[in-house]
Structure 1
Amino acid sequence: MTDPSPILIWFRRDLRLSDHAALRAACDPGRPVIPVFIHDTLSEALRAAPKWRLGLGVGHLAQALAAKGSKLILRREGDALAALQTLVAQTGAGAVYWSRLYDPHSVARDTSVKQALRAQGVEARSFGGHLMFEPWRVQTKTQGFYKVYTPFWNTVKQMGVDAPRSAPQTITPPSQWPATHDLEGWNMGGAMNRGGVVVRPFVQLGEQAAQDRLAHFCKAIIPEYKELRDIPGRDGTSLLSENLSVGEISPHQCWHAGMRAMHEGKAGAETFLKELVWREFAYHLMHHTPHILTTAWRDGWEAFGWQTDADSAEVLAWKQGRTGIEFVDAAMRELYVTGRMHNRARMIVASYLTKHLMTDWRIGMAWFEDCLTDWDPASNAMGWQWTAGSGPDASPYFRVFNPDTQLDKFDKGRVYVDRWLAEGCRTPSPDALAFFDAVPRRWQLRADATYPDPIVPLDLGRKRALAAYAERGF
C-alpha cells in the first residue's frame, strides 16, 4: 500500500517544474506534495543582486505552482533543519526531497539536515539537476579529479547526459495546507535600493522566459555564436546564466538543445556545449578544491603582494566605471544597469583590476557577487582566479590584457562603449543615462561631468604588474 503521508519538496536554486528529478519523484506515487522555500541563513547571506533575483524567482515559482493547483509554502527561519522539522510536525510529512547544491556551506547544511531527518524516521533524499555531471562521477584514469579543462571536456563529452524530464501533470495537494509567510515582507530586494527599478527590465523571469530565451538563441544566434560571443556590442550570447543560476532552466535542457543544433549543422553549437561544460568544470573544482572560493588555488599565489584595500580611490573608481579606460568603464556600467556583464568584458575588467591596479581578486569577486543577477559561486570564483593568474587552467599570469587594443578588436564601431558611456556625448543613450539613476546618491555622479583621465596609464600598469611577477619569481 502506498504511503499516504505528504512529501515536502524543498526548493532552493531549482525554481522550475520541468526536468526536476526531486519533484517528479515526489509526484509520481500520487502522494500529497507540499512545495516549500525556506529563507534561511544561507539565502539571507546572499548579496544585493543575487538575493533580489532569487526573491523574484521564488515569487514567480509560487505563481507557476498555483497554476498547477498547488502552493509554495514560505518559511523564514535561520536554521533550515528547524523549519523542516516544524513542517514535518505540522503536516505529518513522511519525506523531504530536494535538489543538490555543491558549495561547502550548502553541503554542510544538507548533510546535517539529511542525518537529522533520517534519525527521526523521515525519508530524506537529494537529487541531481543543478549539474549534468556529479563532480565525483568525473574521474581521471587514476581516479583523481581534473585540474585542466580540456581533458575534462574530452571525458565528459563522451558521457551521456540524461534526457530532460517533463513537468508533472498533477501535483497532488494535501488535505490541509500549512501556514505560509509573506514573500514581500522578507524584502529580499532591500539592498538593491533604487537600482532594482533600473535592473528589472533586463531580467527574464521564470521557466517559460528561460525556455523562450533558449529557443531564440538556438534559432537566431547559435549559428554565429563562436564569433559573436566575443563582440559585446552584438546580441551574440545566450544570456542563460541568469536562469541557470536560480534553476529556472536545467543544464540538461540547454545541453540537449545545443546537441540538436549541432546535429542540424549549426556552426556555433559545439562552442555553446563547451561553455556549458566550463560551468560544470567550475563546480568540479569547487567540489574537489573548495578553497578556490576563498584562497589562491595555485601554490605560491597567496603570498603575492596584492593591494587589499577595498575602499581605495582606485577601487572606487573601478566600481563607479570612472577609471578613464573606456572598455572597463562601459563594462562596469553595464553591470550596474543590467545586473550582468558580457563575458569578454568580464575578462577585461578583472584583468584591469588584478593587474593594472594590482588589486586582490577577492575584492573584484565580492563586487560581482554584490551586483550580478547571474551570480554563481563556482563560476565567479574560477573566473576571477583564472584571470588573475592564481587559478586553475589559468590564462598565463603574465598576460595583461590591454583594454584599448581589446576595444579596437572587439568593439570597432564603438557600439558597446557608446551604449554605456554618457560623459562627453551630445545625446547619451537611455542605457548610459540609466546608470546615473541606479548608482548610490552618495557617489554624486552626473552624466554631464567630464570623463576622467586614466587613473593608471595602461603602459605603467602593465610594467608594474610584470615587475611584481618577476620580484615574486614567477
Structure 2
Amino acid sequence: MADASILWFRRDLRLGDNPALAGALAGATHLVPLYIHSPTEDHPWSPGAASRWWLHHSLAALDRRLTGLGSRLILAQGEDSLQVLQKVIAATGARRVHWNRLHEPTSVARDRHIEQALRSSGSECFGTNGNLLFEPGEILTAQKGPYRVFSAYWRRAIAQLPPTPIIPIPSQLPPLPPELTGLDLSTLRLQPRIRWDTGLADAWTPGEEGAWRAARDFLDRRLVQYVEGRDRPDHRGTSRLSPHLHFGEISPRQLLGALLERGIDLDREPAASFLRELGWREFAHHLLAFFPQTPETPLDRRFAAFPWCHDDGTRLHAWQQGRTGIPLVDAGLRELWTTGWMHNRVRMVAASFLTKNLRLPWQLGARWFWDTLVDADLANNTLGWQWVAGCGADAAPFFRIFNPIRQGERFDPSGDYVRRWCPELARLPDTYIHRPWMAPRELLSQADLELGRDYPRPIVDLTTSRAAALAAWSAIKDAGAG
C-alpha cells in the first residue's frame, strides 16, 4: 500500500496538538491509527488498576473522535510491540511509523530498539515531542548537567518557554488501508472484573473532550482563586487535569496557549503558580531521565541505611484503607480508593504520615499510589514520594514532618473534607474534627461516636513518632549524600 503511515498512539490520546499525527498525515494517502497494549513492556511498572480503567475509557473516546473524522482506532496487543508493528507494516505496506516520545527508562530503551530494528528493515521512524514543554536534556545547568533543585531548573525553563502555535485537529483523516482489522476494546481486559469503579465513573470523564471541559472549567472559573484554593481539599480549587495530562488527552502546550488566548499574564499570579505546577511535572521527567534508578532507590544514598520500622502489614493496611485514626490522612486514602485521586496537599500529609510517623518505606506508599491513582505517573509519583520522604532531589528537609492536625485545621478548617470521606465523624464539632481522640467523652456521646468501634483510635502517637523519626534521621544524616 503506497504512502501509508502508521500513527502509533501511546500516552498521547488526542487529535489536537499532536505532532506525531501531523507528521503521519504529511503525504499519506492511508493512515493507520494504532494502539498496542503491551503492559509487560513496562515491567515492573505496568499500569495499575485505576490507570487501566482510565485507559479503557480514553481509548473508547479516541476511537469515537477518529470515527467522526473518517477513520478508527486499530487495537492490538502482544508482549512485543516491535513484532506487532512489523505485522502491521507487512499487512499495510506502510513505509513510515510516527510516535510521540515517552521518557520513562524502559520506554526509552524499547523505542530505541524498535527504531533500530525498523530502520534496518527499510522503514522510516519519526519520534516527536508531544507530551512535555521541554524534553529531558533541553534544560541543563551551566556545566551541562542535570538540575537537582526545582527553583533553579524552573527559572531557566520559564525563560525558554516554547512558542505556542497549536497544531489544529484535522478536518478529515485519510482512510484505513482496505480490510485492516483490529481487536475489540473489551479484548484488552482493562475494565475491572469486580465492579469497584462507580466512584471513578462519577468523578471523571476520560478523553480529549473531557480534558477540555475540565480545562475550560478551571481556567474560566477557578484559576482566579488558584493561589489560595489549590491547598484546600474542602474546595474544588485545583485543576484536576493531572490524569488528562498523563494520558496525553491535553498537552501542556495547549494549556499554555489557552492561558495566552485569555490574555492572562504568565508572569503574575495566579497563572505563575499554575505554570509552576506544570513545571514540577517537567522537572519530574527531567529527574527520572537522569536518575533512572529512583523509582526504587533513594537519590540520597544515605537513606539506603535508614532504619525503617518493621511492620507485619497491619499498619500499612490501616493506612491503605484509611483506618489510621488520623482523620485527614484517612479522608485522603478513602478519597483515593473511591475516586482514584487525592488532593495534592493531602497526598503530602498522607505520605509524611506513612514515612515519618509510621516510618514505613516510601516505596510501599509509591506502589499503593501507583495502583490506585488514575493519574499514576512514574516520574511524578517518584518525585513526590522521595520529596516527602526527604531522600530525593530538592527534597523537603527531613525535619519537615507534616502535622496532620495542624494541616487539617489550616486547610480544612470547617472539617468539610473530613466529614465527606469519614462520615462517622460528621457530628463532631469543628474543634475536634481533626483530633477526635481529644474530644471529651460527653461530646463523643452526643456525636454518637465510640472510638475503637465506629472510628479507630490513632495507630501511632504523633508526638512520639515524630521524635523517633528525627532520631532515625540523626543516625544517618552525617553519612555522605548521593
Global fold match (TM > 0.5): yes
Shift of 1:217: 0.9
Residues 207-286 of structure 1: pairs in structure 2 closer than 5 A: 207-259=208-260, 260=262, 262-263=264-265, 267-286=269-288
Is contact 1:232–1:410 with CA below 8 Å preserved after alignment? yes
**1:23 partner amino acid:** L
Aligned length: 451
**What root-mean-square deviation, in Å, do the aligned CA atoms of Structure 1 and Structure 2 show?**
1.9
Displacement after TM superposition at 1:186 (Å): 1.8
CA distance in 2, matches of 1:176, 1:114: 26
Give me the whole-angstrom Cα distance separating, in 2, the residues matched to 1:206 and 1:469.
44
Q: CA deviation at 1:42?
A: 3.3
Q: Match of 2:437?
A: none
Q: Deviations over 1:307-358 (max 9, x none)?
A: 365x511101000100000000000001011110000000000000000000
Aligned residue type for 2:287: L
1:413 is matched with which residue? Answer: 414
Listed one character per residue, the Cα deviations across residues 399-444 of structure 1 (whole Å, up to 9, x for unaligned) are 11100011011111111111110224469xxxxxxxxxxxxxxxxx
For the 8 Å contact 1:226–1:271, the answer to whether it is kept is yes
Alignment of 1:71-82 (within 5 A): 71-82=72-83
Give the alignment partner of residue 36 of structure 1, picking from 4, 12, 34.
34
Shift of 1:449: 5.1
User: Residue in 2 aligned with 1:434?
Assistant: none
Q: CA deviation at 1:194?
A: 2.4
The 1-side partners of 2:131 and 2:122 are apart by 27
Is contact 2:35-2:74 (8 Å) kept?
yes
Name the structure 2 match of 1:300.
302
CA distance in 1: counterparts of 2:343 and 2:263, whole angstroms: 23
When residues 145 and 228 of structure 1 are mapped into structure 2, their CA distance, relative to the original with a 3 A threshold, is same
SS in 2 for 1:194: coil
In the superposition, relative to structure 1, how do residues 303 and 93 fare at CA in structure 2: closer, same or farther (>3 Å)? same
Shift of 1:467: 1.2
Question: AA paired with 1:68?
Answer: L
Query: In 1, are the aligned partners of 2:66 and 2:73 still within 8 Å (CA)?
Result: yes
Deviation at 1:198, TM superposition (A): 2.6
1:117–1:124 contact (8 Å) kept in structure 2 = yes
**Residue aligned with 1:190, SS:** coil
Q: Indicate yes or no: 2:310 matched with 1:332.
A: no
Q: Which runs of 5+ in 1 are unaligned?
A: 428-447
% of aligned pairs identical? 40
Q: Which segments of 5 or more consecutive residues in structure 2 lack a partner in the other structure?
A: 429-451
Picking from 1, 4, 13, the partner of 2:2 is 4
Contact 2:266 2:272 in 1 (8 A): no
Q: One-letter code of the match for 2:307?
A: G
Query: Which position in structure 1 is the counterpart of 2:289?
Result: 287
With the length of structure 1 as denominator, give the TM-score of the two structures. 0.92
- What is the distance in 2 between the residues matched to 1:64 and 1:177? 21
Q: Which moved more, 1:154-163 or 1:106-115?
A: 154-163
State the TM-score, normalized to the length of structure 2. 0.90
Q: Is 1:258–1:272's contact at 8 Å kept on the other side of the alignment? A: no
Equivalence for 2:167 = 165
- The CA distance in 1 between the partners of 2:304 and 2:267, in whole Å, is 45
| Distance apart, 1:43 and its partner CA | 6.2
Residue type matched to 1:304 in 2?
A: F
Which region of structure 1 is more displaced relative to structure 2, 342-351 or 132-141? Answer: 132-141
How far apart are residue 219 of structure 1 and its match?
Answer: 1.1
SS in 2 for 1:36: strand
**What does 1:146-161 align with in structure 2 at a 5 Å threshold?**
146-161=147-162
CA drift at 1:177: 3.9
User: Quick one: distance in 2 between partners of 1:244 and 1:23?
Assistant: 17
Paired residue type of 2:231? D
Among residues 455, 458, 473, which one is paired with 1:454 in the alignment?
Answer: 458
- Look up the equivalent residue of 1:42 and give its one-letter code: E
Equivalent-residue separation in structure 1 for 2:259 and 2:294 (angstroms): 29
Q: Say which is worse superposed, 311-320 or 347-356, in terms of deviation.
A: 311-320
